[in-house]
């Protein structure tokens, strides 16, 4: 547990120093894999009515290429269980994304919703090729990490909007006689 707390603190500290979402996603995924012993992880954000891959660690090129866009319904088979949002390979729904996970050799997936401003904005996906290596106690860590990442992402998005507004106003002011 102390490794997980240290990882969460490290991610929060890193997010406080970076406004680049991609850097925060990459750092968070590396911390998740290092701390949990998982094989791979990904961050998906909701964009245009689907989940879009925004960061990945541990996956091969096929997964990162073919897993770029995932329909919102791809995770419909995931149900909240005692150990959290997990699914073993035998329970994967019959869809393209599940087939992609199987091609990668995934035996177990943990999915943690990323909520910001009372709205699910994305998912933190953590995978194991050997389901016996998964410890159910890792789920609260993944959920806390997803929360930390979603707050950092949300704040970064707000900053980008504010910056765009300021640039727009600066251009208007410069155009005035």
pLDDT tens digit string along 60-113? 888 888 878 888 877 766 655 545 566 777 777 778 888 888 889 999 988 888
Question: Look-up: residue for tokens 């991609």?
Answer: 22
Do the bridges between strand 84-88 and strand 119-128 make them parallel or antiparallel, or are there none, so unpaired?
unpaired
Burial 65-76 (b: 16+ CB within 10 A, else e): eebeebeeebbe
% pLDDT > 70, the chain: 82
98, β-bridge pairs: none
In the chain, the largest separation of any two C-alpha atoms, in whole Å, equals 70
Contact predicate 40/56, CB 8 Å: yes
Angle between helices 2-17 and 138-175 (to 10 degrees): 0
The pLDDT value recorded for residue 84 is 56
**Residue 117: pLDDT band with limits 50, 70, 90:** confident
The pLDDT value recorded for residue 137 is 77
d(CA 97, CA 141): 24
What are the Cα distances from residue 96, in Å, to 70, 81, 88, 92?
A: 9, 24, 16, 11
Asked whether residue 158 carries a pLDDT value surpassing 70, the answer given is no
Contact predicate 98/92, CB 8 Å: yes
| Mean pLDDT, all residues of the chain | 81
| Token couple for 100 | 């992609």
Stated pTM of the model:
0.79
The pLDDT value recorded for residue 153 is 60
């Amino acid at each position: 547990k102390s490794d997980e707390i240290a990882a969460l603190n490290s991610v929060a500290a890193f997010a406080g120093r970076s406004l680049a979402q991609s850097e925060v996603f990459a750092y968070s995924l590396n911390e998740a894999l290092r701390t949990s012993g998982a094989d791979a992880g990904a961050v998906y954000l909701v964009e245009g009515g689907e989940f879009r891959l925004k960061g990945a660690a541990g996956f091969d090129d096929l997964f990162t290429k073919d897993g770029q866009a995932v329909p919102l319904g791809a995770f419909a088979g995931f149900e909240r269980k005692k150990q959290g949002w997990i699914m073993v390979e035998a329970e994967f729904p019959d869809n393209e994304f599940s087939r992609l996970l199987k091609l990668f050799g995934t035996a177990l997936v943990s999915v943690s919703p990323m909520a910001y401003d009372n709205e699910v904005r994305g998912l933190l996906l953590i995978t194991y090729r050997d389901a016996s290596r998964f410890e159910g106690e890792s789920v609260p860590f993944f959920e806390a990490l997803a929360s930390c990442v979603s707050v950092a992402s949300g704040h970064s998005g707000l900053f980008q909007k504010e910056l765009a507004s300021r640039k727009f106003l600066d251009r208007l002011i410069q155009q005035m006689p």
